[in-house]
Amino acid sequence: MLRISPTLLAVVGGATLTLLGQVQAAEPATVQDGMLVDARGMTLYTFDKDAMGKSSCNDSCATNWPPLAASADADEGDDWTVIQRADGGWQWAYYGRPLYTFAQDQKPGDMLGDGKMNVWHVARPEAEDAGDR
């Protein structure tokens, strides 16, 4: 008879619950302190040069401003869509605006990218809902 240790069962059970939590997440980001943040609590940004539903940040730009990655079959909602990037990857957009993190932000709550080159802005739900920017 095969015996499985209680420790192994606990580890497998915990990993399964974690995976289920990720799969069932309703939205790719949350609102914290009036701004959108990713699952790690990192600030999300919008780029003024993007068109609705299309990212203009590629190559070295995407290295400095990593896109909020999505999968092609991610569940979209009224506010959230998945767009295909020029490199073939997939990215989350909020009300049609592609979302990014900033490579220089080191910890949750950092907003070092806000206002960079006057085209990068912290993603805020009220500004996106109103179509501002």
Per-residue pLDDT of 10-19, as tens digits, reads 444 433 333 3
Per domain, the residue ranges of the chain are 27-129
pLDDT (average), residues 35-58: 97
- Output the pTM of the full model: 0.76
Nearest to 27 by CA among 93, 109, 97: 93
The Cα–Cα gap between 50 and 94 comes to 12
**Per-residue confidence (pLDDT) for residue 133, from 0 to 100:** 44
